[in-house]
Amino acid sequence: MPQDTVFELPFAPDVSPDADGARRRSLDWCRGLGLVTHPVDQQRFLRWDIAGLMAAWLPRATGDRLDLAVDAVVVATFLDDQFDGPLADQPLRVAAACRAFTDVIASAGAVPAGTGPLTAAFAQVWIRLAHRASPAWLESAGQHWRWYVNAYVEEAGNRAHRHTPSRVEHFALRRRSGFVYAMLDLSQKAYGFELPPRLGRDPTVRRMLDITADVVDTLNDVHSVEKEESRGDTHNLVLVIEHELGCDRGAAISEIQRMVHDWCAEFVTLEHALADRVPPSDSTVVALLTDCMRSAMSGYLRWSRVCLRYSHLVPPGEPALVTDLLTSR
C-alpha cells in the first residue's frame, strides 16, 4: 500500500484544536449549499476528511479562518471529482465547466447563469477571500485558482490523446494542478498576513514555494497512485517515472523518496539563508510564510498517510460523486 511509504520530513506536524468543530461546520456548509445531498456523497465526503487536512495544514487556525480554508479546499476537491469520470477525456466540456470558475473571479463573485451549486459555492468562497484583501494579493490568488482550473483542460487533452507526460512536463503541469500555491494563499488569509509582491518575486522565496508544492504534490502522487492507476490516469509522478525509466513500482518510489529528501534538505538551507539576509521590516512576514510552508508539508503528510480517499477506492467506471454539481438543477 503506497500510503505506508516512509517519508522522513524535518518538520514537526501539529493539528488545530478546532478540527472536530471544523468537520461539523464543513458538513453543514456543504449540505446548505447543495454540495452533499446524496447518502453516498456524504459517506465519501466524511471519508475524505478535508477539514482534517486543513486542521493539520493550519494548526494555529480556528473558527471562521479555518472554515474559509476548509470550504475553499472542499470546492477544489469536488471540482477534481467532477472530472474523475465521463468528463475525464473531454477537454472541450471540461473547458466550458472551468470557464464558469474563471468568470466568477473576473466578475468579483457573480455566479454565471446556468451553472450548478459548485460554482455558487466557489463564488461565496471567492467573496470571503476578497474581503479586506489588497488588490495585489487578490490578483495573485486569482492567478493561482486560474492555474488550477485550467490545468484540468490540459489534463483532459492528455487523456484524450493517451499522452503520458515526461518528468519535465509533469512538474510544469503539476505545480498548477496541485493547488498548493492557492492553499498557501489560504494560509496567509487564515493567519492574517499577505506576502508582498517584492518578496513573492524573490528567487529564494520562489524556490521555497516551488519545493513546498513539489513535496506536497509528490506525496499525493505516491499515496494516490492506485486510485489514479485504477482509472487510467497517467498524471502521477510514480507512473511517469515508471514509464520514463522502465522500472518497477518499488524502484520508482525509491527514486521519489530520494527526491523528497533532497528537496527538504534544500528547503532548510534556503530557510536559513533567507532569514539571515531579509531586512527587519520583512522578517515577520518571512517567518510566518516559512512556518506556513513547513506546516503545509508536515500537515499534508500526516493527513495523507491515513486518508481513506486513497485506501477505499471508488470502483472504476463509477463517478467519484453521485451528484452532478456543475449543472443547474
Domains and CATH numbers, the chain: 15-304 (1.10.600.10)
Please give the backbone phi and psi of residue 17, each rounded to the nearest 5 degrees, phi first: -70, -10
- SS3 state at 109: coil
Site of grid cell 487556525: 61
Q: Return the pLDDT at 1.
A: 56
* Strand (E) or helix (H) holding 180: helix 180-191
Output phi, psi for 167, to 5 deg: -65, -40
List all residues 6 or more positions away from 300 whose beta carbon is below 8 Å from its beta carbon.
Answer: 53, 56, 57, 216, 219, 220
Q: How many residues does the chain have?
A: 329
pLDDT of residue 139: 98
In this structure, the number of other CB atoms found within 10 A of the CB of residue 320 comes to 20
CB 235 within 8 A of CB 167: no
241-256 exposure pattern, b = at least 16 Cβ within 10 A, e = fewer: bbebeeeebeebbebb
Strand partners, 327: 115
* Residues of the chain with confidence (pLDDT) below 70: 1
Report yes or no: 11 and 291 within 8 Å, Cβ to Cβ: no
Residues whose CB is less than 8 angstroms from the CB of residue 82 and which lie 6 or more positions away in sequence, other chains included:
97, 118, 320, 321, 324, 325, 326
Residue 21 CA: distances (Å) to CA of 39, 66, 77: 21, 10, 20
Question: Residue 162 CB: number of other CB atoms within 10 A?
Answer: 9
The rounded percent of the chain whose pLDDT value lies above 90 is 84
